[in-house]
Amino acid sequence: MKNGHALPMSDAPTLLRAGKVRDIYRWQDEVWLVATDRISAFDVILPNPIPGKGILLTSISRHWFETLPEARPHHVLGFDVPAGVPSPEIYAGRLTRCRTAQPLTAECVVRGYLAGSAWEEYKKKGSAWGRPLPKYLIEAGLLPEPIFTPTTKAEQGHDLPLTDEAAEQQLGSATFRQVRQRSLSLYNAARTRAEKAGIILADTKFEFGTDTKGNLLLIDELLTPDSSRFWPSDHWQPGRTPPSFDKQFVRDYLTSLKEWNQQPPAPSLPASVIQGTLDRYREACRRITGSEPTLPKS
């Protein structure tokens, strides 16, 4: 295993693409997603992995795929390493085996609370993600109803917001309506489930693709700290953004470094930020799944 337990890069028979966090492989007629411990912020891969992060992400994503009815149909075939695969320890706990799907060209974001850059936009313009909002909303407050805010899917650089009209033109009317309905349904179901675990699902990102017959499938990861904004319910107070169980902790640290312009190369993370990030991901996993996978010792 390379680079010790941190596994910033992974090995497999046929590498198709190395993403920011997941490495994508072809194995027989399957596509494999292997979650590494890499972490990105502001669309830049950071030099320090978070040891065990990929295992936690896979455990959380697996929980949602296996227990949330609204997630079906999806592309997941299983999570276990097939017998006979060389070096199975590389993939154990990190592998999602998938059927082939063609990803859509837009990402589907649903937001239920007013936070982050949206709060800054709202203060200036009375809108968020280009969508008008009622007056007198407050920071970290619950929106009147969840908002579907699709974005572009950039291979490099930042994803950009799409209006509903632009997304509909890009995806086609029927597909746009379908992904919008599924995204909102998924968010509402997951938010209710998360609340029972003491977590507020402030926002999240879904990805969809089509199979060889044109059927729409939920793909990629699902409702993880990398794709979602998780707040502890007992720390939520409208009027200020609470601490979170996601990589906002890393973003906040990097934002405090006035000398970094959010362009590669990224600065190294101190040990305290690495451990603090891992602790937040572990707590999210415990609350969501009810347990925690065994992580390699540092």
Tell me, yes or no, whether 82 and 125 share the same domain.
Answer: no
Tell me, yes or no, whether 227 and 132 share the same domain.
Answer: yes
What is the C-alpha separation between 234 and 237, in angstroms, rounded?
9
What is the CATH classification number for the domain harbouring 243? 3.30.470.20
pLDDT confidence bin for 297, thresholds 50/70/90: confident
- To the nearest 10 degrees (0 to 180), the angle between helices 271-289 and 53-67 is 20
Does residue 260 form part of some domain?
A: no
Instruction: Give the model confidence (pLDDT) of 28-62 as tens digits.
Output: 999 999 999 999 999 899 999 999 999 999 999 99
Q: Give the pair of three-digit tokens for residue 92.
A: 């154990």
Does residue 2 form part of some domain?
A: no
* H helical segments located in the chain: 53-67, 117-125, 164-171, 173-196, 248-255, 271-289
Rounded to an integer, the average pLDDT of 159-179 is: 96
What is the C-alpha separation between 41 and 31, in angstroms, rounded?
26
Instruction: Give the model confidence (pLDDT) of 83-134 as tens digits.
Output: 888 889 889 999 999 999 999 999 999 999 999 889 999 999 999 888 999 9
Tell me, yes or no, whether 155 and 195 share the same domain.
Answer: yes
Instruction: Give the model confidence (pLDDT) of 180-201 as tens digits.
Output: 999 999 999 999 999 999 999 9
Does residue 42 form part of some domain?
A: yes
What is the CATH classification number for the domain harbouring 55? 3.30.200.20
- Number of domains making up the chain: 2
Tell me, yes or no, whether 115 and 246 share the same domain.
Answer: yes
Tell me, yes or no, whether 137 and 247 share the same domain.
Answer: yes
Tell me, yes or no, whether 247 and 110 share the same domain.
Answer: yes
Expressed as residue numbers, the domain containing 145 is: 103-254
Give Cβ neighbours of residue 192 (< 8 Å, ≥ 6 apart).
none
